[in-house]
């Protein structure tokens, strides 16, 4: 149940977007549960840990804004 609107959650996949210093990271096809009513997305503990691991593994070698697109299934 959604903590915001009390709507029903259903399994889905989403794109996770994070800005870290000089990087914008897009992780595609991330499994989640999504509220059918308001669209709020929830990640399991396992998925959240994998996202954190992916983000921690990115090298920050550029001084310019860089966009990285990573497929969750291939990186996890």
What is the pTM (predicted TM-score) of this model? 0.80
In whole angstroms, what separates CA 45 from the centre of its chain?
Answer: 12
Asked if residue 2 is part of any domain, the answer here is no
What number of residues does the chain have? 76
Number of domains in the chain: 1
What residues have CB less than 8 Å from 39, skipping those under 6 apart?
A: none
pLDDT, tens digit (0-9, with 9 covering 90-100), for 4-63: 999 999 999 999 998 877 778 889 999 999 999 999 999 999 999 999 988 887 755 445
Three-state secondary structure call for residue 47: helix
Whether residue 50 is contained in a domain is answered as: yes
pLDDT: which is higher, 64 or 19: 19
Q: What is the pLDDT of residue 61?
A: 46
In a domain, 30, yes or no: yes
Is residue 71 a contact partner of residue 29, using CB atoms and an 8 Å limit? Answer: yes
Question: CATH number of the domain that 61 lies in?
Answer: 3.10.20
How far is residue 63's CA from residue 65's CA, in Å, rounded to a whole number?
A: 7
In a domain, 55, yes or no: yes
């Amino acid at each position: 149940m959604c903590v915001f609107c009390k709507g029903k959650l259903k399994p889905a996949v989403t794109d996770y977007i994070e800005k870290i210093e000089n990087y914008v990271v897009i992780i595609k096809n991330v499994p989640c549960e999504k509220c059918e009513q308001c669209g709020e997305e929830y990640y399991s503990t396992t998925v959240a840990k994998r996202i954190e691991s992916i983000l921690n593994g990115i090298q920050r070698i550029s001084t310019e804004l860089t966009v990285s697109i990573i497929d969750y299934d291939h990186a996890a």
